[in-house]
Amino acid sequence: MVLSDRPELWQQLHAWRELNQRIALVPTMGNLHAGHLSLVRLAQEQADRVIVSIFVNPTQFAPNEDFDNYPRTLEQDLQRLASMDVDAVFAPLAASIYPFGLDHSLRLPAPAQLSNILCGDSRPGHFDGVVTVVSRLFNLIQPNLAVFGEKDYQQLLIVERLCHDMGYPIAIIRGPVIRENDGLAMSSRNQYLDAEQRQRAAALNQCLQWIVTHATSGRLVSDLEQAACQQLRERGLTPEYVSIRIAKDLRPVERLSQTLPPLRVLAAAGLGQTRLIDNLPLVVTD
C-alpha cells in the first residue's frame, strides 16, 4: 500500500493504533538495496506494522550536491518492499513534508558539536536538513520505533540525540552496515562509480580495517589517521577525513589506550565525483 499524502497516512495509522499495534518506521531516500532491506527486516522483528518512507529530502542537499541526479527508482523499490510484505510505503510529494515550501518551512538545527565535524565539515547544513526531515517524519507518523543504519554513523548519533533532546517516545534501533563482497559499504551512490572506480572503492573499507588491526595501546591517533589517508591517496581516492573518535559522542582522541570508552573509526573519501563514507568499531589491543 502506497500512501502519498497526510490524510491517507493518518487514516492508516489510526486503524493500526485502534488495534494497539506497534508501528516501526524505516526512513529512506529510496533506490533500495540490501542495506535498506536489512533495516526493514529488523523493523519487522520488533513491530506489528512496518512503514517505509521514501523521500529524497531536498533540505539535506547543498546546492552543489547531487539532489537532481540522486537515483529515483520508485517502481523497483515498491516491488522489493512488496516482496518483503511491508505494510505501507509513505512516498510523499515535497508538499506533504514541507507544506509552506522550502523557503518558508520551519527548520530544526542539528546540535553543533555533533554536526559541524566530520561529514558536517564538508557538508554544511546537511545535518540540519536531516534533523528537520526526521523530526517531520516522527511528528507525522509517531512510530513506536524507527530503524537507522550504522552506515551513516554520525547521522545515527544525531537522530538519537534528536529523540532524546526533543523527548520523542520513539526507540531508535541501530542496523549494522551491510557490505558488498569486497567490503564496500552498500550505498545508492555506489552506482555513480564506473567499473574501474568500483574496484578501487574497496580501499576505503580496507584502510579502516588496517586501522583496526593496528590500534595498539600507546599509538598516536594522528599517525594512524595520516597513514590511512596516505593509503587512500595511493589507491586513487581523495581522503576527506579518517578519524578515530569516542563512539558515543564523536569526541576526538589523541593517543590510544585500553582505558578509553568504546571507539569508532570513521572515514569519507572522494572517488571521481562520488563521495563514499564508512566506519567500523575499534578495539584497542595491547
Task: Please name the residue ranges forming H helices in 116-220.
Answer: 119-122, 126-141, 153-166, 195-200, 202-213
Position among 55, 90, 138, 148 found at the interface with ligand AMP (CB under 6 A): 148
Interaction between residue 149 and ligand AMP (CB under 6 A) = yes
Instruction: Select from 7, 149, 156, 23 the least CA-distant residue to 86.
Output: 23
Interaction between residue 42 and ligand AMP (CB under 6 A) = no
C-beta separation of 264 from 274 below 8 A = no
Instruction: Select from 227, 278, 284, 232 the least CA-distant residue to 255.
Output: 284
Segment near ligand AMP (CB under 6 A), from 117-125, 145-153, 212-220, 269-277? Answer: 145-153
Position among 3, 9, 13, 29 found at the interface with ligand AMP (CB under 6 A): 29
Q: Which residues from 54-113 bind ligand AMP, rule CB under 6 A?
A: none
Query: What is the per-residue DSSP string for 73-90?
Result: -HHHHHHHHHHTT-SEEE
Give me the count of residues in the chain: 286
CB of 54 to ligand AMP, least distance (A): 8
State which residue, 29 or 141, has the beta carbon closest to ligand AMP. 29
CB of 107 to ligand AMP, least distance (A): 18
CB of 70 to ligand AMP, least distance (A): 9
Interaction between residue 118 and ligand AMP (CB under 6 A) = no
Position among 36, 49, 161, 275 found at the interface with ligand AMP (CB under 6 A): 36
State which residue, 17 or 72, has the beta carbon closest to ligand AMP. 72
Q: Which of 36, 126, 164, 214 is catalytic?
A: 36
Query: Given its phi and psi angles, is residue 64 left (phi above 0), alpha (psi -120 to 50 degrees) or beta?
Result: alpha
Cell of 101: 515550501
Q: Which residues pair with 147 in a beta bridge?
A: 173
Cell of 52: 517505509
CB of 205 to ligand AMP, least distance (A): 11
For the question of residue 214 being annotated catalytic, the response is no
Helical (H) or strand (E) element with 12: helix 6-18
Q: How many helices, marked H, and strands, marked E, lie in the chain?
A: 11, 9
Interaction between residue 187 and ligand AMP (CB under 6 A) = yes
State which residue, 187 or 243, has the beta carbon closest to ligand AMP. 187
Position among 77, 152, 225, 240 found at the interface with ligand AMP (CB under 6 A): 152
Interaction between residue 175 and ligand AMP (CB under 6 A) = yes
CB of 155 to ligand AMP, least distance (A): 6
Compute the distance between CA of residue 21 and CA of residue 191 in angstroms, rounded to an integer: 37
Task: Name the residue with the smallest CB distance to ligand AMP.
Answer: 149
Q: Which residues, 6 or more positions from 45, have their beta carbon under 8 angstroms from its beta carbon?
A: none
Compute the distance between CA of residue 38 and CA of residue 34 in angstroms, rounded to an integer: 6
> Cell 513506536 maps to which residue?
144
Segment near ligand AMP (CB under 6 A), from 143-151, 219-227, 229-237, 246-254? Answer: 143-151
Q: Which residues does the annotation mark as catalytic?
A: 36
Q: Which positions touch ligand AMP (CB under 6 A)?
A: 28-29, 35-36, 38-39, 148-149, 151-152, 175, 177-178, 185-188
